[in-house]
Amino acid sequence: MGESPASGADTVAAIGEFGLIRQVTAGRAQPSTTLLGPGDDAAVVAAPDGRVVIATDALVEGVHFRLDWSTPAQVGRKAVAVNLADIAAMGAVPTSVVVALACPPDTPRDVAAEMLDGVATEARRVHVGVVGGDMVSADHIMISVTALGDLGGRPPVTRAGARPGDVVAVCGRLGWAAAGLAVLSRGFRSPVSVVNAQRCPDPPYAAGPSAALAGATAMIDISDGLLADLAHLAEASGVGIDVRSDRLTVAERLVDVGSALGADPMHWVLTGGEDHALAATFGSPSDLPEGWEVVGSVVADTGVTVDGDPYDREPGWRHWM
């Protein structure tokens, strides 16, 4: 799994930590929120709101990505995306990220550089600065990103505010990354649109702050699957949630892939993780901003049901299974 060994001159050990840092930071523009960027003991980032929203996630080779499935740049982009989605889920606007890369000494220099280029590419999409980080030796490649965000004077939208009578809504794609994983696991590399959804998500970053402005009562990033993550929201809020399957969109491409693989595409939509769509609760359907779709309701109960009944399959991803 991964890239073939490089010659000694083309490895991260040959260029060294500071040589690689210089390579990937030279000429990188920073947004106005970056007061002091890479090159010192720590970065300095403006916090106009007076509060900082922080999220962190680690991606480990062989667990969260494979370099025979994804390019290094796609892995770098994914590492940033999963964190910025968490910032958005609090209703905040991301401002900056720091990145830590761990890898074996014989890792090809281009692999590390392309991965960090991917970090910069995804950050640049939302005008976020890559303000610092660390590089260390390890037995396997791991990339960890910490993201910071600004609430713009608003309270954070947590998982704990849903109320009976609220509607449950989603913004973003569901089931695509799970379908892509199924395709890759069978040894295929197409359809590309489905496979790329697993390689690198496309979260609706702007939907989080827009939901907060519209009065969302609770919100969560869908990283482990719609049902699994709604269960976290329901537990935090002390409510139940009923998802209506007839309100969920199953894309035609997922239907085609499901037919080819003998799989149920609705299961991907309900339980598939890594698309990093957002789910939120609102007091009324009329409160929904553009791009959000009602998929269920909040009830005076506990747990999550589908069409009024418990879901009889695994509801999503679980670590250490």
CATH number, domain with residue 49: 3.30.1330.10
The string of pLDDT tens digits covering residues 84-141 is 999 999 999 999 999 999 999 999 999 999 999 999 999 999 999 999 989 899 999 9
My answer on whether 122 and 192 are in the same domain is: no
Asked whether residue 126 is domain-assigned, the answer is: yes
Q: Please tell me what DSSP assigns to residue 156.
A: P
Q: Enumerate long-range contacts of 41-50, CB under 8 Å, 24 or more apart.
A: 42/132, 43/96, 43/98, 43/131, 43/132, 45/95, 45/96, 45/129, 45/131, 45/148, 46/95, 47/95, 47/150, 48/150, 48/152, 49/150, 49/151, 49/152, 49/153
Average pLDDT over residues 290-318: 93
My answer on whether 53 and 180 are in the same domain is: no
Q: Flag whether pLDDT at 22 surpasses 50.
A: yes
My answer on whether 120 and 20 are in the same domain is: yes
Check whether 274 is labelled as a binding-site residue: yes
Average pLDDT over residues 242-264: 97
What does DSSP say about strands 142-150 and 240-243: parallel, antiparallel, or unpaired? unpaired
Q: Are residues 133 and 99 in contact, defined by beta-carbon separation less than 8 angstroms?
A: yes
Q: What is the pLDDT of residue 252?
A: 97
Check whether 33 is labelled as a binding-site residue: no
Check whether 159 is labelled as a binding-site residue: yes
Q: What is the pLDDT of residue 24?
A: 62
User: Who has greater pLDDT, 47 or 202?
Assistant: 202
pLDDT band at 25 (very low <50, low <70, confident <90, very high): low
Q: Flag whether pLDDT at 3 surpasses 60.
A: no
My answer on whether 46 and 87 are in the same domain is: yes
My answer on whether 144 and 12 are in the same domain is: yes
Check whether 133 is labelled as a binding-site residue: yes
Asked whether residue 179 is domain-assigned, the answer is: yes
- Please state, as a whole number, how many other Cβ atoms lie within 10 Å of the Cβ of residue 36: 13
Check whether 224 is labelled as a binding-site residue: yes
User: Who has greater pLDDT, 230 or 49?
Assistant: 230
Asked whether residue 65 is domain-assigned, the answer is: yes
pTM of the model: 0.89
The string of pLDDT tens digits covering residues 186-222 is 999 999 999 999 999 999 999 999 999 999 999 999 9
Rounded Cα distance between 152 and 145, Å, is 22
Asked whether residue 267 is domain-assigned, the answer is: yes
pLDDT band at 2 (very low <50, low <70, confident <90, very high): very low
Check whether 64 is labelled as a binding-site residue: yes
My answer on whether 268 and 188 are in the same domain is: yes
Check whether 317 is labelled as a binding-site residue: yes
Q: Are residues 176 and 197 in contact, defined by beta-carbon separation less than 8 angstroms?
A: yes
- Of the candidates 68, 71, 72, 54, the one whose C-alpha atom is nearest the C-alpha of residue 143 is 72
Rounded Cα distance between 140 and 60, Å, is 8
**Number of domain units in the chain:** 2
Check whether 86 is labelled as a binding-site residue: yes
My answer on whether 111 and 56 are in the same domain is: yes
Question: Containing domain of residue 105, as a range?
Answer: 8-150
